Amino acid sequence: MSRPSWHELVQQARQQRAATQRTRVRRSVSQRDGARCVVDGRNLLNFCSNDYLGLSQHFAVVGALQDAASREGAGGTSSHLVCGHHVLHDALEKELADWIGAPRALLFGSGYLANLAVVQSLLDDESVCVQDRLNHASLIDAARLAGCRLRRYPHADPEGAIRQLRNVPTGMAMLATDGVFSMDGDIAPLRQLALVARVQRALLYVDDAHGVGVVGPDGRGSVAGAKLGIHEVPLQLATLGKALGGHGAVVLGDEDLIGHLAETARPYIYTTALPPAQAAATLAAVKLARSEHWRRDKLAELVARFRERASRVGLELMESDTPIQPVVCGDDVRALAMSKSLEHDGYWVGAIRPPTVPEGRARLRVTLSALHGVGDVDGLVVALERARERSARIMPPAREHTAAN
């Protein structure tokens, strides 16, 4: 029997990625100063960070990190259930639960781990997980690893969700969706999905990684923005590394469900706890996010300004009122060319290509932050218009595409 070597498989995959413009390259950031950063030696204005509220470098957040590290050290030392759970973890969980309006919260090392934990601890091979087709990869992987039946419905289509649930009438059912979709920036139709979940006796789980801190009353996220509570959405996720500027994630929800996760979720039981110093930093960030409403107000103004200016010059946007503002390019080569042009002009905007987004929907994922100013946004739009003109000289015009809703 002849088997290909791992070397051959890796080389073939690499060659395929190169041939289809799908090669991914890491960039090294050597310095950050507000919205500006030094990337591979170049000073760029960053428009691809998820630091929506500008808290990652806030003096109170950094000060809390330093103070706690000086007392508690650099690491978590063990898993939560052995000896790694600290009073700072307790304080952060309680603050987050109080803010979001949930009975209990549970910390995780990342949003990816949290999604694996939720799905694997609740579903088995007799269960079904029905998901939006544009959900984050971690939700899809979680269902596959849980061994349950994975069913996906068209993006933001409650009728599609109910059809999928009706096709699997028995067994535990979970309806899982992003709150704010990370590549499109739109918000899930949560009120309609909550009705679907109630009628079909499914547990509605919302991954609100890009919503908490940014949307909803007091930044409490898309669930609160839809005027839903713990009875309609028994579990939701918030990441701590986006609007809150830190690291890790938290699952919030029903007391019994959170207790079940704490005792059974493998990604919680078998991994080291977040460093207490990181919990202290995030605790400071949560208090700022709760009290400094001007950050969300400013962000909303910048989003509106960007959309108005970009539409005025004919850039193709998607239906999003969040800080995630995709500029559709269609072709992978065009997206890469425009990203390169922007960098030449001093702006860092990532080109997002399949398989992260659907074929023919390559885009520039512009993300706005409270750290940006009006002049930054206006300058970016001018640079985007210039990038479009430059890319048109090197390739045929892109085919027309309809924005996904």
CB 223 within 8 A of CB 264: no
The answer to the question of whether 229 is labelled as a binding residue is no
* 210 assigned binding-site residue: yes
Strand ranges of the sheet holding 36-39, from the earlier edge strand across to the other edge: 29-33, 36-39, 42-46, 347-348
> Is 84 labelled as part of a ligand binding site?
no
Residue 355 per-residue DSSP state: T
Annotation-wise, does 136 bind a ligand?
yes
Q: Which of 56, 182, 222, 391 is catalytic?
A: 182
Of 80, 85, 155, 242, catalytic: 242
Cα–Cα dist 218/349, whole Å: 29
Cβ-contact 272, 284 below 8 angstroms: no
Q: Per the annotation, does 282 bind a ligand?
A: no
Q: Is 182 annotated as catalytic?
A: yes
The number of CA neighbours under 13 Å toward the Cβ of 54 is: 20
Among residues 85, 86, 155, 210, the one annotated as catalytic is 210
* Token digits of residue 8: 């051959």
Residue 290 phi, psi (nearest 5)? -75, -35
The CA-atom distances, in angstroms, between 405 and each of 123, 318, 357, 402 are 29, 8, 14, 9
On whether 24 is known to bind a ligand per the annotation, the reply is yes
- Looking at 254-403, which runs of residues are DSSP E strands? 324-330, 347-348, 351-352, 362-367
Cα(258)–Cα(249) distance, integer angstroms:
14
Tokens of 405: 């809703």
Mark whether 49 is an active-site residue.
no
Closest by CA to 83, choosing from 365, 290, 276, is 276
For the question of residue 227 being annotated catalytic, the response is no
Cα distances from 72 to residues 64, 69, 124, 249, in angstroms, run: 12, 5, 39, 21
Q: What are phi and psi of 263, to 5 degrees?
A: -100, -15
Catalytic positions:
182, 210, 242
List binding-site positions for substrate.
24, 136, 356
Q: Which residues are annotated as a binding site?
A: 24, 111-112, 136, 182, 210, 239, 356
Annotated binding site for pyridoxal 5'-phosphate: 111-112, 182, 210, 239
